[in-house]
Amino acid sequence: MVAWVGSPDDAPPPPGAVHDVGGLVMPGLVNAHAHTPMTLVRGAGDGMPLDRWLAEVVWPLEARFTEDDVRWGMLLGCAEMLGYGVTTTCEMYLHGRTVAEAALEAGIRCVLTPGIFELPGGLTWQQALDDAVQVHGDFHGREGRLTVGLGPHSAYAVPDEGLVATARAAAELGALVQIHVAETAAEDPGIPGRLARLGLFDVPVLAAHSIWLSDADLDLYRRHDVSVAHCPQSNGKLGSGVARVADMLALGIRVGLGTDGPASNDNLDLWEEMRLAPLLSRASAADASLVPTAAALRLATRGGAEALGLTTGSLEPGRSADFVRVNLADPSFVPALDDHELLAHLVWAAPSRLVTDVWVGGQPVVVDGRCTTVDIDEARHQVARRARRIRDGGR
């Protein structure tokens, strides 16, 4: 945990050695929605709308994944995120145990919501729910970095009875539910109301995407304290639309930023989402005042943490010691004559490559630009080899 924040002159006596890291120390970024093992199919199905992309490309490819495939895909993605200063990720994926173990191995903070689907020829929703509940029992709270919830994919991939059962299980476990909602205009416009009637909004819910929402839907979110994972780059690549983020924030709805999976983004760089979210809001409304600079940074840090119910995302005593160092010796930070300019350059100009060091729970996981928890060369080799087999139709 963070013990103290302030001027060095006022700091209490340290318990050990003091290290002046220089640069800018800031909270780690929070990826509020991802399917990270999809590094194995990065870029697949480019140019297709969501429904065809899932049914014709992604789900058939994922059906060929082995547990080892998922492990290496998750490890490579975690190394990528840590290198970008992402210290927390919220994952929805099948193979929950493997994802959990890989996240622990990589040293990242993770909210895992094992996927619950009803797919032809696959697990039933009941089998997937039972497995997710078991993963919760086995992994929730592990090493103080792993939180386990439940991940019904969507109202079109899980029947009503499965959503009701998921809500009941979440209430018994006190667990977060993550679900895709209103991602495309083709979805039933009554989905938010339907989820509320089924009892899903009576438990903590993270609604990913939430693009096609009416005023009534937004009010429903506000009244039920539904949080949102906004994924601007994935939404744009799939042609899904632009979420009403400024309206959500004005209503007090908790919003974080997500990359979505690396097959629909196609990277895990949350710095890009931090810029794109306000840019799209301002451009679509022709209003440069929307989503101010400080609010954009908050979406990528504390906003995401609050959307997930975590005590991270800001440097305050009592919060998790997840933080990064940014190198200020770069042209993108010139001039920086005051704190306002420094913040503006951080959000609008600085690239993620300026992240040099990363700590999760006070433990170093990136040192001098090198991830210390994952052998990236081996992970790259493994994912490339396995991706070829998967694309060629093998298991």
Rg (CA), the chain: 20
Cα 126 to chain center, whole Å?
26
Cα 184 from Cα 192, distance rounded (Å) = 13
% of the chain exceeding 90 in pLDDT: 92
Q: Where are the domains of the chain?
A: 30-310
Report d(CA 146, CA 140) in Å as an integer: 6
pLDDT at residue 347 tops 90: yes
E strands, the chain, in order: 24-27, 29-34, 86-93, 109-116, 146-148, 151-152, 177-181, 205-209, 227-230, 255-257, 323-326, 355-360, 363-367, 370-371
Determine what percent of the chain falls in helix, strand and coil, rounding each to the nearest 5: 45, 15, 40
Which one, of 155, 238, 226, lies nearest residue 189 by Cα? 155
**Distance, first Cα to last Cα, the chain:** 43
Cross-strand pairs, 205: 177
The DSSP code for 338 is S
Interval 47-54 mean pLDDT: 92
* Mean pLDDT in residue range 239-262: 98
Q: What percent of the chain has pLDDT over 70?
A: 99
**Which residues are CB-contacts of 14 (< 8 A; sequence separation ≥ 6)?**
none
Under a CB-based contact definition with an 8 Å cutoff, are residues 86 and 301 in contact?
Answer: no
Domain 30-310 bears CATH identifier 3.40.50.150: no
pLDDT at site 394: 67
Number of C-beta neighbours around residue 136 at 10 A: 24
Strand partners of residue 72: none
* Average pLDDT of the segment spanning 169-183: 98
> Rounded distance, CA 166 to CA 26, Å?
37
Give the model's pLDDT for residue 217.
Answer: 98
Check pLDDT > 70 for residue 351.
yes
Is this prediction's pTM over 0.85?
A: yes
Mean pLDDT of the chain: 96
Residue 20 pLDDT: 81
Tell me what pLDDT residue 231 has: 98
CA angle in degrees (0–180, nearest 5) for 1-231-365 = 35
* Average pLDDT of the residues in 347-363: 97
Mean pLDDT of 119-135: 90
Written as one string, the DSSP assignment of 173-234 is HT--EEEEES-STTS-TTHHHHHHHTTGGGS-EEEEE--S--HHHHHHHHHHT-EEEE-HHH
Give me the amino acid identity at 16.
Answer: G
Does 337 have pLDDT greater than 80? yes
Q: Provide mean pLDDT across the span 226-250.
A: 97
- The whole-number average pLDDT for the span 323-345 is 96
pLDDT at 32 over 80: yes
Asked whether residue 302 carries a pLDDT value surpassing 80, the answer given is yes
